[in-house]
A = this chain, B = another copy of it.
Amino acid sequence: MTLRADARRNRDLLVAAAIAVVAEEGPDASLNEIARRAGVGPGTLYRHFPTRDALLAAVFEGRLSRLCEQSEELAESKPPGEALIAWLRLLTVHAMTDQGLGARMMLPTPAAGVDCWTMLRTAADRLLLPAQSEGRVRPDIDFTDLVELTAGIARSAPDPARADRLLTLTLDGLRTGHVAQRTEKQ
C-alpha cells in the first residue's frame, strides 16, 4: 500500500511540477513537459497517474481542501443563508483559476477518483442543508444543482467580475422569499 521511497519522491516531484505547469498553461498543459520539469521520464508519470484527470485531481486537491476549511469557517461565523452564498462566491473564484482547472474537476469526471466529488459535497452540504431548513433556500435544490451552475458560470464568464454578476443573477432564483423587482406596467 505504501510506496517505496523513490516512488514517493517521484510522485511528489510530479505533482509539484504539475501545479507549476498547469498554473502557467492550464489543464491542457503537455504531460511530457510536466514529466520533463519533474526530471522524470514520461513512463514514470503514467505509472503514477494513469490518466490526465488523475494527475489534475492531485493538483486540485490542495485548492479543494482550502475550500473545505473555508466552508467550516463560514458555517461558524455567519448565519446559514449568508454563509452559503459567501461560499458559493469562493467556489466560483476557485473554479476560474488555472484556466478553469477547478470548473473541470468540480464536475464528476470519470476516473478522476470520486474523492474530489465527495469532499466538495460534504463542504457544500454543510452550508446548503442548514440554509434550506431555515427556509433561506428552496428545498428542491440539490448539491448537484449548485456545482453544475457555478461550474458553468466559471466556464463562460470572461472575468471574475462577470462571474460574480452571473452568480448573483442565478442566486435570485435560488433564494426563497426573494421577490424579483417588479416592473410590470399592466
A181 within 8 A of B: yes
**Chain B residues whose CB sits within 8 angstroms of the CB of A99 once the complex forms:** none
- Alpha-carbon distance between A151 and B180 when the two chains are bound, in angstroms: 23
A130 within 8 A of B: no
A2 within 8 A of B: no
A156 within 8 A of B: yes
A138 within 8 A of B: yes
* Contact B176–A173 (Cβ < 8 Å): no
- Alpha-carbon distance between A25 and B176 when the two chains are bound, in angstroms: 42
- Alpha-carbon distance between A124 and B36 when the two chains are bound, in angstroms: 48
Say which residue of B135, B184, B186 sits within 8 Å of A183 (CB atoms). B135
Number of copies: 2
* Contact A180–B178 (Cβ < 8 Å): yes
* Contact A134–B180 (Cβ < 8 Å): no
- Alpha-carbon distance between A151 and B154 when the two chains are bound, in angstroms: 11
* Contact B173–A134 (Cβ < 8 Å): no
* Contact B186–A135 (Cβ < 8 Å): yes
A182 within 8 A of B: yes
What is the minimal beta-carbon distance from A79 to any residue of chain B, in angstroms? 12
A23 within 8 A of B: no
A11 within 8 A of B: no
* Contact B173–A145 (Cβ < 8 Å): no
- 5 further A-B contacts with Cβ under 8 Å, apart from A151-B155, A172-B172, A178-B180, are A152-B156, A152-B166, A169-B173, A173-B180, A176-B182
A-B contact pairs, 17 of them (CB 8 A): A133-B185, A134-B185, A135-B182, A135-B185, A138-B183, A139-B183, A145-B166, A149-B152, A149-B166, A151-B156, A152-B166, A169-B173, A170-B173, A172-B172, A176-B182, A176-B184, A177-B184
